[in-house]
Structure 1
């Protein structure tokens, strides 16, 4: 589903600097010496981008839930800025200002991996793969360090992929009205058209691969038409651009079976993938990062995978501890 130009998606994660700026503006306007110039500057900032206004409204909602200040007293303070500032009023204003900044900080923390994992409807830790079945029969496999929220309503079925990677096999609707099935990431939306597909969320771009059926990819701020991908096709995309449509190997879903299939893969990339499936730090010496590897490796026993690598290549695996491993030239 495309989003009209200039309209922000209500489910897209807000950038941390925007939330911080909104918190500071709110605290500033609650200060005793806030001026009309401050209010005009804040209004201009809110109008600069839809995400600015969305962050402001978000903190307004949090403000409404602050329980540390009596509601009637807060209302009186905020609706009578023309009155002289009494010591009681100054104290309350500081409480309100600090409360909103703290609320903003809590929202900022919710964007971090640990909070996303803690607060998400479904999540996995490092090295963990989990399969779940949704109420409509859809099967979802969560890769390591994945956080996912579920938004099933009367009009659509939506997954919010906050971080990580998922493999989705969509179920069939049982109700009389069909609800579209969509996966939302920070960069845009992927709509399933009866299919099996994977989505991987990154900081700057997302990646989608289709194994059965079709999907429609709609970046948030791209002026072009949505892109249709069929079985065996994949693509990377950002909020503003779509990359070229590339072939997807049938074995690209092997991770859901605990297997990594490498075909002429650089050692650095292979070790980065293995590192997602084990605890601790797995380092690659830059001197051997460009070596290329082909083979089948276990994601459920990454120590065995590393041993197989060392047996087949001129490298050695150094274990300082089970959680601090370096791969270097032999």
Structure 2
């Protein structure tokens, strides 16, 4: 029976991988690596997983070098993903399509239902909503936040800092103009809302002048166009305090929002989805919220499992 690789073996495999990525191995290094692989079946198993990981994450080396990580940091990143894949019984998933795994590379992230706040070197404060991942790149010319997935609320710091402050999404860039604003990466579009001052928006494929948003305004934009401006209310950022605030909102929208904060399936039939809801709900206790909704609305909440919940209208 082949021995299962342990953490130390994975650490060694990660070290060899990073070393080979930084520069081509010398004959002596290649011989040493070959001896290491052949000296123990667990070494070979760990390296085989490393090769599978490389095939399924073809962009991994570019992602590591893009942020100019030190060799030690690179080893930690590779090791972290190797341990996750080993622990999950990795059998050739298409990792690029699984956000939770691809986000292992992020500088900061949250799990489903988790929120966190971080302060950056310039004093800027970033709130990360549920299931969110960001990279941070500060250099001499700019301060850049790359939103990989999810939603953030930004309060920029140091008014005297002359470097431009950007948030980058799949669809384009948002530049802060001394402000407090939110950015949400949705499917094929980005949603922006401004609480204080202004931001400018530049889609990737649009060459016209950036669109400027003022406090109290929000917009959705795609890579080739910016949509119509709509009001953006302070209550839409209540998630930073663990709250969902709605006023005369369709239940279907409320359920979709609650679904972001819990794992599994949370579905609502068409009749129930049309019911109107007002109230303030706690995002860290979605089961209690569902119980309260059932007590106040003509709906039935059925738990098939902890991770599969269905809501239907009763009358």
Q: Same fold (TM over 0.5)?
A: yes
Structure 2: runs of 5 or more not aligned: 1-17, 28-51, 62-93
2:191 corresponding residue in structure 1? 207
What does the per-residue CA deviation read over 1:223-255, in whole Å, with 9 as the maximum and x for residues that have no partner? 321100010001000000100111111211111
- Residue 264 of structure 1 deviates from its aligned partner by 2.4
Q: Report the alpha carbon displacement of residue 140 of structure 1 after superposing the two structures with TM.
A: 0.6
Write the distance in 2 (CA, Å) between the matches of 1:163 and 1:100. 22
SS across alignment from 1:104: coil
Q: Could you tell me how far apart the structure 1 residues matched to 2:169 and 2:115 are?
A: 20
Please point out which of 59, 65, 69 is paired with 2:21: 65
Which stretch has the larger CA shift, 226-235 or 112-121? 112-121
Query: Are positions 1:198 and 2:182 aligned together?
Result: yes
1:130 alignment counterpart: 116
Deviation at 1:102, TM superposition (A): 5.3
TM-score, normalising length: structure 1: 0.67
C-alpha change, 1:328 and 1:148, in structure 2 (3 Å) is: same
Q: Secondary structure at the match of 1:194?
A: strand
Deviations 1:174-213 (A, max 9, x none): 66xx111100001000000111000000121000000001
Relative to structure 1, the CA distance from residue 182 to residue 324 in structure 2 (aligned partners, 3 Å threshold; closer, same or farther) is same
The higher relative CO (CA closer than 8 Å, separation ≥ 6) is in 1
State the Cα deviation string for residues 34-77 of structure 1 (Å, max 9, x = none): xxxxxxxxxxxxxxxxxxxxxxxxxxxx9x8288x8679xxxxx
Aligned residue among 117, 135, 140 for 1:154: 140
Structure 1 unpaired stretches of 5+: 1-61, 73-97
Q: Quick check: 1:144–1:277 contact (8 Å CA) kept in 2?
A: yes
Aligned residues: 243
Q: Distance in 1 between matches of 2:112 and 2:220?
A: 24
Number of the residue aligned with 1:168: 154
Kept in 2, the 8 Å contact 1:66–1:99? The answer is no
Matching residue within 304, 309, 312 for 1:325: 309
Paired with 1:192 and 1:106, the residues of 2 have a C-alpha distance of 30
Aligned to 1:119: 105
Partner Cα distance (1:146, 1:271) in 2:
19
Taking structure 2 as the reference length, the TM-score comes to 0.70
> Of the two, which has the highest radius of gyration?
1
**Contact in 2 for aligned 1:287/1:329 (Cα 8 Å):** yes
Q: How far has the Cα of 1:156 moved from its partner? A: 0.4
Q: Is the contact between residue 268 and residue 290 of structure 1 (CA under 8 Å) also seen in structure 2?
A: yes
2:204 paired with 1:220 = yes
Give the Cα–Cα distance (whole angstroms) in 2 for the partners of residues 290 and 271 of structure 1: 11
**Secondary structure at 2:114's aligned position in 1?**
coil
Alignment of 1:220-239 (within 5 A): 220-239=204-223
Report the counterpart of residue 58 of structure 2 in structure 1: 104
Alignment CA distance shift 1:289-1:193 (3 Å) = same
Question: Equivalent residue for 1:86?
Answer: none
CA distance in 1, matches of 2:286, 2:295: 14
Q: After superposition, what is the alpha-carbon deviation per residue over 1:265-296, rounded to whole angstroms, capped at 9, x for unaligned?
A: 22111111111112332121233222222222
Report 1:264-283 matches (<5 A).
Answer: 264-283=248-267
1:288-308 deviation per Cα after TM superposition (whole angstroms, max 9, x unaligned): 222222222111211121112
- Does the CA-based 8 Å contact 2:259-2:265 persist in structure 1? yes
- Give 3-state SS (helix, strand or coil) of 1:193's partner: strand
After the TM superposition, list the runs of 4 or more consecutive aligned residues in structure 1 that deviate by more than 4 angstroms. Answer: 69-72, 98-103, 105-108
Task: Work out whether residues 107 and 135 of structure 2, in 8 Å CA contact, stay in contact via their aligned partners in 1.
Answer: yes
